[in-house]
Amino acid sequence: MSIRENKAEQQAIGAVPAIKENETRASEWGKHYPRQYDTYMQTRKSDEIGDVLKDDPAIVVLWAGYAFSKDYNKPRGHYYALEDNINTLRTGAPVDKKTGPQPTACWTCKSPDVPRLIKRDGEMEFFTGKWAKYGDEVVNPIGCGDCHDSKTMKLTLTREHLKRGLDAEGSLKVADITHQDMRSLVCAQCHAEYYFKKTEWEDKGEKKTAAVVTYPWAKGFSPEQIEQYYDGYGFTDWTHQLSKAPMLKAQHPDYETFVTGVHARNGLACADCHMPYMREGGVKYSSHKVGSPLDNIGNTCLNCHKGTEKEFKETVELKLARKNELARQATDILARAHLEAAKAWELGATEEEMKPALQDIRAGQWRWDYAVAGHGAFFHAPEETLRTLANAISKGQDARLKLRIVLAKHNAADYVAPDFSTKEKAQTLIGLDMPKLIEEKKTFLNTLKQEWFKESEAKGLYDPASRKDMVLKTSY
C-alpha cells in the first residue's frame, strides 16, 4: 500500500472530528494518525542529559560572561524540547511576565504554540518582551503543527525566519522548493545558526524593540561567509568577561553543514535517515521517532549501503573520535588565550596592543563553535567539520603568539593560565555563584513553572499526554 492510500485509510478510520486549524496538541492529531503519533511519542525514550560542560570544562571559560557557561547539554528527544528550555539555567528564574533574563525568542524552536501565537499577535509583538511573557501559552513540545498543515497534512514551513534566510542566501529560493527539499527544510526551521536581530517598531505610537530570530545567510552558509555577514556591521553576541574579545556564538548550524556533505550532494534529506519508512503489515509510514539513525541502521544506511550494523557503528564512532580530538585541542588553546588576555589586561596592556589578538580569538572561537554546535556535523560533513576545526586551532594559536609578546612586554613572559580542569573549577574561576543560581531556579520550577501549566490547562491549550511520566532531569 502506498503512503498516500495509507493516509486515506487512516482518515477513514471513523467519526473523528477534523483537526482544528491551529491545533497544537499532538494527541488530537494522533487520533487521525496513530502510527505517526505513537512513533513521535517514542522520542521520550531519548531522555539522558549529556552535560557538555562537565565533559570539556574548557568550554566554561570560552563562554565566560554568557549564559551558556552556566548550563549546556547534548540534545535529547523532541519530547523534551520545551521541558529542557524551561529547566535550563540559561533561562534563569523569572518571577513574573516581565522579569528576565531571556527574550521571547527563546521559545521560537520549541513548540507549535509559536506559529499559533505569531498568527494571533503578529511577529513583532511575538518577538518583543521577556521569555516569561508567553510561559502560560507555549506549553506543547515540538509537534505535528510545526511541520504539517492540519487540513492537507502536507509538509509546511511554519517559520518565516527560514523563508527569509533561504531567499537571502539565494541558492534555493522559496519559490523553487521541491517535496524532497521539504524533507530537510522542516528541520532547518530550527536546526540552523541564528541570532536575535534587534528591530525597532511602533505599536500604537509607542516605540518598541523586537529581538527577531534571524538566519545570517545573506553571504552564504560557510563559517567564513557567516562571519563576514556579522563582521559587516560589527555584530557581537557578547563581550568576553575575561579577554574582553567581541564574541560570536554559533548555534547548531546543522542544515548549513549538512548541505556540504556527501549525502546532501547525493540528494538525501534529513528525513531519509532520521525518519525512515517503516512497515506494519501492509502499511508503510514514516517513523516519527526522530533520533539517532544508528538505532535503526537496517532501515536507514543499509537501504543504500552494503555492510553490517557493527561496521556502520564503528565508522560513525571513528568519525566522532576524529572530531573530538581536534575539538579538544581547540577548546584548550582558546581557553588559555582568554586567560592570557585577562592577565595582559591586568598588567596594563593597551587596547591597541590587545586588538589583533582579540580578533583572532573571536575568529577562532567562532570556527570551533560552528564546527561542533551541530552535534551531527562530524558525520553529515566530516571534511568541512575538520577543516573548520583546523582553522579554529590555527586562529587560536595566532592569538596566543600575539599575547605572549604582549605578556613579555609587561614582564610576564612565563605566565601560566590557572587550572580549569573540572566544571566546578572553571565555573569558580569565572566567578559564577552556582548554588545561588540553582536555588533561584528551583524556586521558579516549583512556583511559576507550575502556574504556567495550570493556567494553560484552564485555557484548553495544554495536552497532559505531552508530559506523560515526565521526570525532572537536569545537569544541576
Contacts with ligand HEM in 104-133 (CB under 6 A)?
A: 105-106, 108-110
Cβ(179)–Cβ(160) under 8 Å? no
Any residues with CB less than 8 A from the CB of 388 and at least 6 apart, and which? 223, 367, 368, 370, 371
Question: What is the DSSP secondary-structure string of 387-407?
Answer: HHHHHHHHHHHHHHHHHHHHH
Residue 251 Cβ, how far from Ca ion at the closest point, in Å? 5
Residue of minimal Cβ distance to ligand HEM? 376
Q: Among candidates 464, 434, 416, 452, which has minimal Cα distance to 60?
A: 434
The CA-atom distances, in angstroms, between 294 and each of 36, 39, 414 are: 20, 16, 48
- Angle, helices 448-458 vs 434-446, to 10°: value is 30
Q: Among candidates 345, 144, 89, which has minimal Cα distance to 240?
A: 345
| Residue 221 binding Ca ion, by CB under 5 A | no
Contacts with Ca ion in 237-266 (CB under 5 A)?
A: 249, 251
- Piece of 119-127, 268-276, 350-358, 408-416 that binds ligand HEM (CB under 6 A): 268-276
Report which residue type is found at 448. Answer: L
Selected binder of Ca ion within 63, 195, 215, 462 (CB under 5 A): 195
Selected binder of ligand HEM within 74, 98, 119, 454 (CB under 6 A): 74
Nearer to ligand HEM, 101 or 356 (CB): 101
| 238, β-bridge pairs | 247
Kindly state the number of chain residues that form the binding site for ligand HEM, as judged by CB under 6 A. Answer: 82
Report helix, strand or coil for 195: strand
Choose the one of ligand HEM, Ca ion, none that binds residue 162, judging by a C-beta under 5 to 8 angstroms depending on kind: none
Any residues with CB less than 8 A from the CB of 59 and at least 6 apart, and which? 52, 53, 69, 72, 331, 335
Selected binder of ligand HEM within 60, 64, 275, 334 (CB under 6 A): 275
| Residue 72 binding ligand HEM, by CB under 6 A | yes
Site string for ligand HEM, 401-430 (x = CB under 6 A): ------------------------------
Selected binder of ligand HEM within 288, 343, 400, 441 (CB under 6 A): 288
Site string for ligand HEM, 309-348 (x = CB under 6 A): ---x--xx--------------------------------
Selected binder of ligand HEM within 24, 36, 331, 385 (CB under 6 A): 36
| Residue 465 binding ligand HEM, by CB under 6 A | no
Q: Among candidates 70, 69, 53, which has minimal Cα distance to 422?
A: 53
Question: Where on the chain is the footprint of Ca ion (CB under 5 A)?
Answer: 195, 249, 251
